[in-house]
Homo-oligomer: A and B are copies of this chain.
Amino acid sequence: MTNADIGSPPSDRTRVKRLAPRGRYDRETIHAILDEAVYCHVGFNLDGRPAVIPTAHWREGDNILIHGHAKAGMLLALRDGADCCVTVTLLDGLVLARTAFHHSVNYRSVVAYGQMTEITDPDAKSASLKYFMDHITPGRWGAAKPPDDQELKATMVLSMPLDEASAKIRSGPPSDDAEDMDRDVWAGVVPSRLVFSEPETSPDMHLEKPVPDHARHLIRD
């Protein structure tokens, strides 16, 4: 059994306090949620006040990574060591209980605290961007033109270890109280998920190219 299987014990910040049984701390659960989601929300302070910005993310080993334009305000702040919180959420459904009070949502989320470090070595940066692109659309990196030196210089890649991360999960049907079970009202779950659908070829494509398999990779039945 590796350390990844065991996971690390929660810190005071990552320990799930509300509805504690929903908290999960094992690497497998945390990694699976990060790998399924394609974007996260990054929280940091801008002039001492909280800001939350959505951005694509990926995972390599026990690190979460983001990228963007090298002059973007958020990336500059994070590169300079700003504390941040990266949160990833997958909405799995609406939970319609017999009482208004027990209505809920099914979801899987990860909250990770820490600081980002810039990947500056051009080869390491390029390898990481390839890893990201091929995770979402396997083989795309080999099909598209790779970044030249100038484009690579204009792109910042940041990485944060998942040292202080936890997952929170709610799943399954509503949890109504015993005295409400005979109420004359339907109870159940409306499932939800992010769906990718048939790719749309760019109207400015003047070469005859079929939609490649990698563009359909995220489509599920």
Contacts and interface: CB of A to CB of B under 8 A. Distances in A.
A143 B186 contact: yes
A44 B198 CA distance: 38
- Looking at chain A's contact residues, the main secondary structure is mixed
A1 to B, nearest CB: 31
A151 interface: yes
A183 B145 contact: yes
Nearest to A203: B173
Interface of A: 13, 17-18, 38-39, 41-46, 49-54, 56, 68-69, 71-73, 83-87, 89, 91, 94, 96-101, 103, 105, 107, 109, 111, 113, 129, 133, 136-137, 140-141, 143-147, 151, 154-155, 173-174, 176, 180-207, 209-212, 215-216, 218-219
Quick one: which of A18, A41, A72 has the most chain B CB within 10 A?
A41
Contact of A38 (B91, B143, B147, B184): B91
A106 to B, nearest CB: 10
Copies, count: 2
B99 A144 contact: yes
Nearest to A56: B105
B190 A193 contact: no
